[in-house]
Amino acid sequence: MTWTETFHCEICGKQKGSVDHWWLAWTERYRPFEDSPERPLLKIYPWENMSAHDAEVKHLCGQACVQTLVARWMNTSIGVTHPISSAKRA
């Protein structure tokens, strides 16, 4: 029996081929300095087969989909971790 492994882009759904230049992305928590609150950190890494199996990793087919993921992550992270106060809006 032959086992075929497939990966699909998190953004557009494209199936990974053998010569594609794909990326992996995931988030981690970090503290920029001691006693600071934890912040989300987005990591982007060139495709690596072993890391692609991690359940938390996002698979991305190229630059456009990486940019889309980054924009979505920024909008979500800023809205959650950095609420805009009414004083800053004025």
What is the Cα–Cα distance from 82 to 90, expressed in whole angstroms? 17
DSSP string, 5-72: ---B-TTT-PBP-SS---EEEEEEEE-SSTTPPPEEEEEEEE--TTGGG-TTPEEE-SHHHHHHHHHH
At 39, list the tokens: 């912040």
The confidence band for 79, taking pLDDT boundaries of 50, 70 and 90, is: low
| pLDDT score of 70 | 97
Q: List pLDDT tens digits, range 34-70.
A: 898 988 899 999 999 999 999 999 999 999 999 999 9
Write down the mean pLDDT value for the chain. 86
| pLDDT score of 76 | 87
| pLDDT score of 89 | 44
- Asked if 29 contacts 38 with a C-beta cutoff of 8 angstroms, the reply is yes
